[in-house]
Every structure is written in structure tokens, then in C-alpha cells.
Amino acid sequence: MNEIDRRMFLTRAAGGMAAMALVPNLQAFGGLSAEDALRVGVIGVGRQGREIMGELGKIPGVSVVAVCDVDERRLASGLRRASGATGYATVREMLDSGGVNAVVVATPTHTHREVAVECLKSGVHAYLECPLAHTREDCIAISDAARSSKGVVAAGLQGRSNPVYQLARGFFLSDSVRDLVSMRAQSNRKTNWITPSNDPVRKEALNWKLDPKRSNGLAGEWGTQQFDVFNWYTGKYPTRVSGHGGIRFYEDGRKVHDTISCTLVYEDGATLGYDATLANSYGGKHEVFFGSNAAIKLGWSHGWLFKESDAPTQGWEVYANRQQFHNDEGITLIAGATKLAEQGKLKEGIGLPNPAVHYALVDWVTAIASSGSVACSVDEAARATMVGIAANDAIVSGKSVDIDLSGL
């Protein structure tokens, strides 16, 4: 990249390009006929499914017309949140009704293959929650089905649609960070991962994340979303992973670790350190890229650039809002910073007004409306999921595991 191209790239990154992601252009969708309007069926209305329903309700021209769940209580809860929607106990019944032309698959991870493949074969547009599946074989099967699907299929790896992450990636690809030294991420949250129920059978079904036969643990369920951020930024994938884990707090008979740590190694020798715990919330969920010119820290709703003292000035710093972190000063990454600075409203742009899943859903809807490309393909979701599966295998076995991304 020559100096002129680099300067233009930075100008775009710091200015209006990221602002577009905050208020997506849905005019194409608004122009569709009533018959072609997006009538969405949400399959799986647990916590994530219900959040998705709420975010779909914010998007113009989109209606949740069907709700599907095998659990009667969750189905009833979902129907209360979607006025006028029809409830279905099975996916086949919902698809055969002819009332939906798009679906969101938000069922437990180990059930994704059966549900997703059935939907993809029907030809409806589909948004598949991530991690994509429970096993490598299931990832490959879903990817194969997506390639032959007639609908627009998007995977829910949310970082790729996040306006702050899109902006930060522009800086990462420029000389703002320069030589990548190392990477680190964590996901800390104080929660027991238990859904209570007085019915033993229902309790077992609801708490699949604590069953090692159905769950890929913290590395798979939480790490996949974050591993993809590094895949996307670097354009590379780790080749080997080692790690360990244990039950450090919840001594309640569970067999899935409540605390883990792993190291992912890339072919060029770069490493990504990842930690996660259910026992402490300090630091929350974030990713960090360490470079010779600067570090970028991403926190899903916020992002910061920490410049080294010897890093060159590139011109965009005049628009910067700065925040102190102990002895370090972070430049807040704000979508549309140039325009906001001109209006004297720079601080109003700090953080995102919606959760990350909102932007992923908007990107999917926009791709349907414009016949454009999705933010995250199913193949990319499969790769990130396979990384999460391998990381969990390494943590459970205590051995170094080669990451196999073949078959896609």
C-alpha cells in the first residue's frame, strides 16, 4: 500500500464509512412488495432467541410471524413477545405452513445441524447462530447445505458486522498498528450457566452446556465468536492449540470446566492467548491486538487504540477522543468520528446504541434486500467453530491439538 492509498484508507476508516454501519441503508428492502416482505420464523426461543426477536423488531420491514421451540414453556414465552405470531412445535410444521420466507436458527448448538440443514434445503433465507455446530462433521454438513441453498444464508459471527470492529479493522490494516506482535482475548462473566427447573428431564435438556457430550465448553460456546475476530483481522487461522481448565468455583458435580486458559499458535509463530471463566467478571469480554506502533483493544460496544510513544502521527488524531487507563492513554474508536467532531458531538458517538447481534441481523436483512453479500459466510463460521472445538479438545485432554480446517 503506497502512501497516498494509505492516507485515503485512513480517512475513510476514521470518517463516514463506519457511520454507514450504524444506520444501514434498507431502502431496497422497503421497496419490496407485501408478498415478498421478510416474514421471519425464529427457531429456538431461549435467552438468545428472545434477544434476537427483540432486535428483529427494530428493523423496518421485518416481522416475526412464527416461533418454534420443542419446549412448551419457552414457546409460550416467545409467543408473548411476538404479537400475532404463530407457534410451532416442529421445524417441519413451520416450514410447511408457507408463512415464513426467512428463519433464524437459535437452538442449542448440538441441534444446529438437523435444524439448519432442513431449513436450508427448503430454500428460505437463513441466519444461523454461532457457534455453527457441535462437531467438525456437523460444520461441514451445514456448509455443504448452505452452498446449495436458494436463500441468503448468513452466519451469526457478530464481530464482522460490528461498526466499532469494522472501524478498528481499518486501522489494523494500515500502519496504525504495523507489525503484529501478539494477541490476547478473554471472556469473564460471573454466572453459573444453569437454567433452573423443577422437572428433572426438562432441567437436563435446558442445561446442555454442562453436558460434555453436548457442549464444547467455554472455548467452543464463548471462544468461537472471539476467535473469529482474529481470523477476520489477520486473514489467518491458528494451526495448533494447547490449554488446560478446571472447576475452580462451582463444585456442584458439573463436568464442564468453569475456568479455562489456552494458547493458539499460528504458522508464522504468532500466538493468541485466551482465557475464560464463569467465576469472575473482571475485565469482561474483550480482544487485544499488540503491534509495534499501537495496541487495539476491542470490547464489543467500545474500542480503543493505544499508540506507542515512537509511533508516527497520521493526521486523524485531531478528531480523537482520549480516555485514561492507569498509565496508558487510549484513543476511543468512534464510528463517524470526522463528522461528529465537526458538529462538536464527538463524545456522543462513544459506544454502540445497540447490542452486537443487532448489526449482524441488519447485515443479513440488507443482503436479502439488495441481493448482496453477507457479512459472514457459513464457511467462515465453520472455520471459527472448528477452532473452538479444537481448543476445547485441547483443554479437556490436556494435550496439544492440531487444528484441522479441511473439508470446507
Instruction: Write the pLDDT tens digit of every residue in 39-51.
Output: 999 999 999 999 9
The pLDDT tens digits for 353-363 are 999 999 999 99
Residue 11 above 50 pLDDT?
Answer: no
Domain termination site, one of 89, 124, 159: 159
Residue 119 lies in a domain: yes
All three cell numbers of 36, joined, read 415478498
CA 299, 12, 17: angle at the middle one, nearest 5?
65
Looking at the fold, whether 71 and 127 belong to one and the same domain comes out as yes
Contact 124, 101 (CB under 8 A): yes
The pLDDT tens digits for 26-36 are 554 544 455 56
Residue 23 lies in a domain: yes
Q: What is the DSSP letter of 85?
A: P
Looking at the fold, whether 207 and 337 belong to one and the same domain comes out as yes
Return the percentage of the chain with pLDDT > 70, whole number.
Answer: 86
Stretch among 12-16, 81-85, 115-119, 370-374 having the lowest mean pLDDT? 12-16
What is the tally of structural domains in the chain? 2
Ordered DSSP codes for 52-65: HHHHHTTSTTEEEE
Looking at the fold, whether 145 and 180 belong to one and the same domain comes out as no
Looking at the fold, whether 75 and 88 belong to one and the same domain comes out as yes
> Which 3 state secondary structure label does DSSP give 57?
coil
Tabulate helix, strand, coil % of the chain (nearest 5). Answer: 40, 20, 35
Continuous segment of H or E residues that includes residue 113: helix 112-122
The residues facing 273 across adjacent strands are: 184, 263
**What residue type is assigned to position 347 of the chain?**
K
> Which 3 state secondary structure label does DSSP give 125?
strand
All three cell numbers of 207, joined, read 442445561
Mean pLDDT of the chain: 89
Domain termination site, one of 103, 126, 159: 159
Indicate the pTM of the whole model. 0.90
Q: What is the pLDDT of residue 319?
A: 65
Domain termination site, one of 143, 159, 175: 159
Residue located via cell numbers 469480554: 285
Q: Residue 15 maps to which CATH number? A: 3.40.50.720
All three cell numbers of 397, joined, read 485432554
Q: Residue 214 maps to which CATH number? A: 3.30.360.10
Residue 357 lies in a domain: no
> Which 3 state secondary structure label does DSSP give 54?
helix
Q: What is the pLDDT of residue 349?
A: 62
Look up the domain containing 176 and give its range.
163-352+382-402
Residue 373 lies in a domain: no
